[in-house]
């Protein structure tokens, strides 16, 4: 992994995927039944956490609260989507941070699936065979469904988020709550990956709900670098008694 050479970064950065959502549950049921559409009556932005997702978010908050005071997040940023906000609210409550202090940033929103939203894999193949063929040819990194985004589009908006971190949050301890593709695209940027590396990483391990990916810099070390400390760390949730859930990254439905 290449190491970022600049020191104008937060002291720590945690990137977390939201807890299990009602959309995750509905999509699992649709995939299991081999149906073409995901049965959910909310738009993606309004899809809330499931009951399990709320427990996972609470366990995540308890894990952060157990850290020494000078190691806890002091800046909270989140996707505007309901499931992400509910997750970060649980952390803020556990840390005694006023919810009004949470930064809500539309650049952290889920990847937009456009015309393919709410369709299962089987549904895409049956309803949009030409798009399924195009995605297979182009690859998931560059494929942009009509009305939606590619991974590159997401990466483009996240580049400006990193500039804000380096401008406004040097020395802070920042928690970002987003979505599976958001976690992976941040990793692409922060670990200086290329297309092959990030897609290999994506294939090797899905991002569990409420798992922690952490970057940090040790400013007392000569030639200090801002670098990865842990990726997709889900053990604290298991210790707290909340099961870890993993959803495969497919360009369908809410996540």
Would you say 231 is a known binding-site residue?
no
Would you state the torsion angle of the CA atoms of residues 182, 187, 189, 193, taken in this order, to the nearest 10 degrees? -130
36 is catalytic: no
Residue 70 counted as an annotated binding residue: no
Does 19 count as an annotated binding residue? Answer: yes
Whether residue 2 is annotated as binding a ligand: the answer is: no
96 is in an annotated binding site: no
Q: Is 215 helix (H, G, I), strand (E, B) or coil?
A: strand
Catalytic residue among 18, 89, 169, 179: 18
232 is in an annotated binding site: no
Distances (CA, A) of 144 to 72, 112, 148, 236: 38, 9, 6, 35
Q: Is 195 considered catalytic here?
A: no
Strands (E), the chain: 12-17, 75-78, 103-104, 173-178, 212-216, 227-233
Distance between CA atoms of 60 and 86, rounded to whole angstroms? Answer: 12
Q: Is 22 annotated as a binding residue?
A: yes
The secondary structure of 56-80, three-state, reads HHHHHHHHHHCCCHHHCCCEEEECC
Given the residues 31, 89, 110, 191, select the one marked as catalytic. Answer: 110
The C-alpha atoms of residue 93 and residue 95 are separated, in whole angstroms, by 5
114 is in an annotated binding site: no
Query: Is 149 within 8 Å of 111 (Cβ atoms)?
Result: yes
Find where tokens 């976690």 sit. 183
Element (H, E) at 200: helix 195-204
Q: Are 237 and 56 in contact (CB under 8 A)?
A: yes
In degrees and rounded to multiples of 5, residue 221 shows phi and psi of -95, 130
Q: Is 122 annotated as a binding residue?
A: no
Catalytic residue numbers read 18, 110
Residues placed in the known binding site for substrate: 17-24, 83
Residues placed in the known binding site: 17-24, 83
């Amino acid at each position: 992994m290449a190491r970022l050479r600049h020191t104008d970064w937060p002291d720590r950065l945690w990137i977390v995927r939201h807890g299990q959502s009602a959309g995750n549950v509905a999509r699992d049921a649709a995939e299991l039944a081999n149906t073409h559409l995901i049965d959910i009556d909310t738009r993606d932005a309004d899809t809330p956490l499931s009951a399990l997702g709320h427990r996972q978010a609470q366990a995540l908050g308890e894990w952060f609260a157990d850290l020494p005071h000078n190691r806890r997040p002091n800046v909270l940023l989140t996707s505007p989507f309901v499931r992400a906000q509910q997750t970060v609210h649980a952390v803020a409550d556990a840390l005694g941070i006023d919810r009004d202090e949470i930064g809500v940033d539309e650049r952290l929103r889920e990847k937009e699936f456009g015309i393919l939203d709410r369709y299962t894999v089987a549904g895409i193949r049956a309803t949009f065979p030409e798009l399924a063929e195009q995605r297979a040819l182009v690859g998931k990194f560059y494929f942009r469904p009509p009305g939606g985004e590619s991974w590159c589009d997401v990466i483009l908006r996240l580049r400006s988020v990193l500039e804000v971190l380096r401008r406004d949050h040097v020395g802070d301890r920042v928690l970002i709550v987003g979505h599976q593709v958001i976690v992976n695209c941040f990793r692409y940027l922060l670990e200086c990956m290329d297309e092959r590396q990030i897609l290999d990483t994506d294939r090797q391990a899905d991002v569990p709900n409420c798992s922690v990916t952490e970057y940090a810099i040790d400013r007392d070390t000569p030639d200090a670098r801002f670098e990865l400390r842990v990726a997709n760390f889900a053990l604290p949730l298991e210790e707290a008694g909340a099961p870890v859930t993993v959803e495969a990254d497919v360009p369908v439905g809410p996540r």
